[in-house]
Amino acid sequence: MKALILSGGKGTRLRPLTYTGAKQLVPVANKPILWYGIEAIVAAGITEIGIIIGPETGAEVKAKTGAGDQFEAKITYILQDQPLGLAHAVKIAQPFLGDDPFVLYLGDNLIQGELGGLLKVFEQKALAALILLKSVPNPSAFGVAQIDEQGRVLKLIEKPPVPPSDLALVGIYFLSPVIHQAIAAIKPSQRGELEITDALQWLLDQQKPVDSCQLKGWWLDTGKKDDLLEANQLILDSCLSVSNAGIVDAASQISGRVSIGATTQIINCTIRGPVSIGSGCHLENCFIGPYSSIANDVTLVDVDLEHSVVLQAAKMIGIHQRIVDSVIGQRASLKAAPQRPKALRFMIGDDCQIELA
C-alpha cells in the first residue's frame, strides 16, 4: 500500500500568504498542514509516500519536509507542471504507484479520526475504491455522492449546480490499481481538468465495487482564512500538550494548556490557553488569549492577541487594539505610528483583507 499526497496548487484563496509560500506549509498549531496528513498516513502503516508538487512551491515543500526520515517514511516528490486535476496527478504518478493500491490524500485537508479503520474496510472488501463522505451545508462546492438506503454509491457528480444530496467527497480516497484504467478512459471536464470524480463514476459504470464511509468527526479544507483559524482551534483543543522550555518571568501569568518553545522569553504577559508559542520568541507586556498559535522567532510587544495565527519571524509592536480572528504572515511587521488625528498609514499587498473596528 502506498500513498499519494497532493501538495501543488497556487492557494489563491489564502493570498497574500501564498504569494510567497505553499498553502500546505501554512502552520496549524505551529505545524505545517501537510505534515498532519503525512503523520496520519504513517500511523496507518503506510510508509511509501509520493507528494505531488507544483513548480511555484515545490522546492519549498521539498526543503521543509525532506526525504521522510522525520516521519519514519520514504517520500518521493513528483512534479505536476500544470494543475490539470486530481486524476491528472494520479496519472503522472503512475510510475511511482505501479500496480499497488494507494490512498490519495489532499494535502490541505484535515480530518478527525484515524485512517487505519478505513484501510481495513478497503482491504477486507477488496474494493476498487473507498470514498469518504461528509454532510456539508454547501455541497455544490464539492464533488457530491448520491447513495441508496443501504449506503451504496449510485452516482458521483463534480460541483453540481443542483446537488442530489448534501454528501460531499472528503479529500481522501482509497484506490486500487484499476483507477489507472478509469483515468485513461475519461476526458477533461469543462474546466479542462481530469476529475477524480469522473474516474470514480467510470468505475461505477463498469460495475466495479465502490463503497463509501461517512465521516462522523470534523473535516476541514484549510484553503481559506476562516477555515485555517477553525482548524487551529480544533487542533489546539484536541492535540496540544502543556510544556515550557522558555523563560517566563515572575510577573507573567499563564493559565490553561500552553506550550512554550525553547529560548522564548515571556515578560510581564498574561497567557490563557490553549496557546502554542514556538521557539526563539520575545513576548513583552502582552495578553495572549485562547486559540492563538505563535510561530518561531516572533516578537510581540504591547500587543493583545486572541484566536489568531502568527507566522514565523513576524513582529508586532505597540498595537493598542486587540487583534482577533487574524492570520499574520511570515516576517510581517505591524507597529503603531505616532498619533495623528484622523489619519491612517498603510502599506498593503495584493488581496489583503483589513478591518478597522
Q: Is residue 346 in some structural domain? A: no
Boundaries of domain holding 330: 240-335
Q: Is residue 345 in some structural domain? A: no
Domain boundary among 192, 211, 235: 235
Q: Cα(first)–Cα(last) distance of the chain, in Å?
A: 52
Asked if 156 and 77 sit in the same domain, the reply is: yes
Domain boundary among 184, 202, 235: 235
Predicted pLDDT at 158: 84
Asked if 135 and 190 sit in the same domain, the reply is: yes
Asked if 149 and 11 sit in the same domain, the reply is: yes
Cell readout for 72 is 519514519
Predicted pLDDT at 17: 53
Asked if 73 and 141 sit in the same domain, the reply is: yes
Q: Is residue 207 in some structural domain? A: yes
- C-alpha 159: how far from chain center: 21
Q: Is residue 348 in some structural domain? A: no
Predicted pLDDT at 320: 83
Asked if 154 and 300 sit in the same domain, the reply is: no
Asked if 194 and 50 sit in the same domain, the reply is: yes
Q: Is residue 265 in some structural domain? A: yes
CATH label of the domain that carries residue 283: 2.160.10.10
Question: Digits of tens for pLDDT over the chain (357 positions)?
Answer: 999 999 876 544 455 555 555 678 888 899 998 999 999 999 999 999 999 998 888 898 999 999 999 999 999 999 999 889 999 999 999 999 999 999 999 988 888 878 999 999 999 999 999 999 999 888 888 889 998 877 788 999 888 899 989 999 998 999 999 999 999 999 998 888 899 999 999 999 999 999 999 888 888 776 677 888 888 999 999 888 899 999 999 999 999 999 999 999 999 999 999 999 999 999 999 999 999 999 999 999 999 999 999 989 999 998 888 999 888 888 888 887 666 555 555 555 545 556 555
Predicted pLDDT at 11: 47
Q: Is residue 343 in some structural domain? A: no
Cβ atoms 344, 329 nearer than 8 A? no
Asked if 211 and 262 sit in the same domain, the reply is: no
Residue type, 236: L
Tally of structural domains, the chain: 2
Domain boundary among 235, 270, 285: 235
Cβ neighbours for 84, distance < 8 A, ≥ 6 positions apart: 188, 192, 193, 194
Q: What is the 3-state secondary structure (H, E, C) of the chain?
A: CEEEEEECCCCHHHCCHHHCCCHHHCEECCEEHHHHHHHHHHHCCCCEEEEEECCCCHHHHHHHHCCCHHHCCEEEEEECCCCCCHHHHHHHCHHHHCCCCEEEEECCEEECCCCHHHHHHHHHCCCCEEEEEEECCCHHHCEEEEECCCCCEEEEEECCCCCCCCEEEEEEEEECCHHHHHHHHCCCCCCCCCCHHHHHHHHHHCCCCEEEEECCCCEEECCCHHHHHHHHHHHHHHHCCCEECCEECCCCEEECCEEECCCCEEECCEEECCEEECCCCEEECCEECCCEEECCCCEEECCEEECCEECCCCEEECCCCCEECCEECCCCEEECCCCCCCCCCCCCCCCCCCCCC
Q: Is residue 353 in some structural domain? A: no
Cell readout for 301 is 510587544
Asked if 120 and 246 sit in the same domain, the reply is: no
Q: Is residue 36 in some structural domain? A: yes
β partners of residue 327: 309
CATH label of the domain that carries residue 105: 3.90.550.10
Asked if 126 and 218 sit in the same domain, the reply is: yes
Cβ neighbours for 354, distance < 8 A, ≥ 6 positions apart: 346, 348
Cell readout for 347 is 502599506
Asked if 11 and 123 sit in the same domain, the reply is: yes
Nearest-10 Cα torsion for 150, 155, 161, 166: 20
Asked if 284 and 303 sit in the same domain, the reply is: yes
Predicted pLDDT at 149: 79
Asked if 194 and 312 sit in the same domain, the reply is: no
Predicted pLDDT at 4: 98
